Amino acid sequence: MGADVQFPAMTDGREIIKKTTLDGQGLKILVEAGLTWLKANQQLVNSLNVFPVPDGDTGTNMVLTMQAAYGEIVQSNESNIGKVAHAIAHGALMGARGNSGVILSQLWRGFARALDNLPEMNGETLITALTESKNTAYKGVVRPVEGTILTVAKDIAAAADKFRGKDFTLDVLEAIVEEADRSVENTPNLLPILKQAGVVDSGGKGLFIILEGMLRFIKGMPLESTAVVQPLSQMELDGAMEEVEPGQDYEVVVDFRPNNNLDLEKFYSDLSEMGTSIQVGEGDGMYRMHIHVPTDKRYEPIEYTMELGTVTKVAIENLLAQMEDQKGKSDEKINFTPIEPGQIAVIAVSPGAGLSRIFASLGVAAVVEGGQTMNPSTEEIIHSFENLPTDRVILLPNNKNIILAAQNAAQMTVKKVAVIPTKTIPQGLNAMLRHDPDGDLAELAREMESAISEVETGEITIATRSVEINDVAVQQGEVIALLNGTLVASAKDIQSACMELLEKADTADRERITLFYGENYSRQEVNKLSDEIRKVYPRHEIELHEGGQPHYQLILSIE
């Protein structure tokens, strides 16, 4: 890298001894360092959510993308940095989840392209690689938006370019990381919705943290769990299932009131000796601790926490049993339409078993589990159609944060794949009403895309924090309503929020209202709600369906 840069050994004894250049094994260690620090700050990145909805998942998506990238090289002894960079890029591309993960994979792709088959990287080639990284990421997005991870990548490249022709020292690396930090802090000035929400861009923050982790490793600073406490309402424990690693047999959650001021650094350090996926939340003097542990340590976090204060609630779940149960539910009673050779197969992304059954009844060939907080990877999308007996495929992402991964999947197959940019479940269902398995692929894609504009989408959920966005004042714990992804109402109860949503959607000028109720909303409750809706819209056709989606009590289709 530069004459003054030294790379200390990781805990397993690997060393980087070259001083002026970096080889493939050196890059491998830096990727591990960036991933480790990102995992330590994962929940911080997740909490940087614009809307106060329970779907902050940028940190999780970036961690899973980086894990897939590192997984491609973890067993490699390759010293050629170009070859290692290409392996990293391939792993990131296949494992990319969510918009942030896809853009991160494009950054790695550009980085690898600049190092193509080079044995080592020096300061000049690093600057070139960062520039190509930024260029590739921008080209991969149809309409780039400033104030996002793209802007941070651009500012990183610009900061590095100032040092062309100069010795690439530790001071230079620090300057680049500091510029990344400044760029992240400036994102609210470039993207007004961030300023309204009072947060910085989550993807940009994740990119900064990856680079900061690399720098921390070079400087010999710790990379393990950092003591981050989040509001209890923002703790996302449901998404932890996607991150279960070998040896994580049990999930333990403990609520407690500490006897004295909690030493968070020591608390995290002690817990890290017991397990992984550590989260800590706090509210009104009450703390919640979450951890994944091996079977033989499942009681240790409880006993340890009891020494610190009064335990008020304990939950222990068998993670492997949960995963098997979820898989059983997802496979239950769903009969997909058989595809004949040459027909058009439609693949839909669905967040709930009930919605999956509805898609199946409309003729989809397969469903990819996913949605809010559980964005499927590029590889998972490819696997959903690669073995079907046809080379004509249509993908319905049904979520704005899955469209890029679907487009990635379409570009990585020899099959003819059309991605319909459906951002919501109602849009995907409406598109399926146009399906003709024996039609022309391009014509069918156009018809399906035109169907998107024929439906309005409403979503009802619980606010995770207090904020004011789009002139809507929201209090944590209130029921909020989103119309086509825009926050439009906040109320004390679901019925009030739903009625205000319907009014904002000009439902009086529509004909049909369909309610898809989630896993945390009962049939009895939705029946009662539909009775109230009928009083206001007596001439409308109203349908009720079990959706089974998490987090959102209701998804509404208004046609």
User: For 391-405, what is each residue's pLDDT tens digit?
Assistant: 999 999 999 999 999
The whole-angstrom separation of Cα 513 and Cα 534 is 10
pLDDT at 332 over 70: no
The whole-angstrom separation of Cα 497 and Cα 382 is 38
Fill in the amino acid letter for 510. R
Q: pTM for the complete prediction?
A: 0.83
* The pLDDT of residue 8: 39
Give the E-state strand segments of 376-534 in sequence order: 392-396, 416-419, 456-462, 467-469, 472-474, 479-483, 486-491, 512-517
- The residue that leads in pLDDT, 476 or 157, is 157
Let me know the angle formed at the C-alpha of 243 by 239 and 247, rounded to the nearest 5 degrees: 130
* The pLDDT of residue 235: 60
Run of H or E including 506: none
Return the structure tokens found at 531. 């009775």
Q: If you average pLDDT over residues 326-349, what whole number do you get?
A: 80
The whole-angstrom separation of Cα 150 and Cα 148 is 5
pLDDT at 7 over 60: no
* The pLDDT of residue 370: 86
* The pLDDT of residue 68: 94
Residues 6 or more apart whose CB falls under 8 angstroms from that of 259 comprise: 308, 309, 310
Q: If you average pLDDT over residues 362-378, what whole number do you get?
A: 90
- The residue that leads in pLDDT, 9 or 514, is 514
pLDDT band with cut points at 50, 70 and 90 for residue 1:
very low
Return the structure tokens found at 548. 């089974």
pLDDT at 239 over 60: no
Q: What does residue 357 show for φ and ψ, rounded to 5 degrees?
A: -65, -35
Do residues 397 and 349 make contact, with C-beta atoms less than 8 angstroms apart?
A: yes
Highest mean pLDDT among 37-51, 66-80, 286-300, 368-382: 66-80
- DSSP class per residue in 370-387: -BTTBPPBHHHHHHHHTT
Do residues 243 and 277 make contact, with C-beta atoms less than 8 angstroms apart?
A: yes
The whole-angstrom separation of Cα 379 and Cα 268 is 34
User: Could you tell me how far CA 207 lies from the centroid of its own chain?
Assistant: 14
Give the E-state strand segments of 246-387 in sequence order: 250-258, 276-283, 286-293, 309-318, 344-350, 366-369
Residue linked to tokens 């997909």: 336
pLDDT band with cut points at 50, 70 and 90 for residue 201:
very high
DSSP H helical segments within 219-296, as ranges? 264-272
pLDDT band with cut points at 50, 70 and 90 for residue 279:
confident
Sign of CA pseudo-dihedral 284, 285, 286, 291: positive
* The pLDDT of residue 115: 95
DSSP code, position 16:
B
Return the structure tokens found at 92. 């990131």
pLDDT at 163 over 60: yes
The whole-angstrom separation of Cα 73 and Cα 75 is 6
Q: If you average pLDDT over residues 146-173, what whole number do you get?
A: 89
Q: What does residue 256 show for φ and ψ, rounded to 5 degrees?
A: -155, 160
Q: Mind listing the domains of the chain with CATH numbers?
A: 24-218 (1.25.40.340), 229-324 (3.30.70.260), 332-454 (3.40.50.510), 456-558 (3.30.1180)
Name the residue among 340, 4, 312 with its Cα closest to residue 171: 4
Run of H or E including 496: helix 494-504
Instruction: Please state, rounded to an integer, the average pLDDT across all residues of the chain.
Output: 88
33, 38, 40, 45 alpha-carbon torsion, rounded to 10°: 170
* The pLDDT of residue 19: 56
Do residues 142 and 105 make contact, with C-beta atoms less than 8 angstroms apart?
A: no
pLDDT at 164 over 60: yes
Name the residue among 453, 454, 433 with its Cα closest to residue 346: 433
- The residue that leads in pLDDT, 448 or 318, is 448
- pLDDT tens, position by position, 454-470: 999 999 999 988 888 88
Which residues in 306-341 are b (16+ Cβ under 10 Å) and which e? eebbebeeeeeeebeeeeeeeeeeeeeebebbebee
Q: What does residue 417 show for φ and ψ, rounded to 5 degrees?
A: -125, 130
Greatest Cα pair distance, the chain, in angstroms, is 77
pLDDT at 73 over 90: yes
* The pLDDT of residue 5: 36
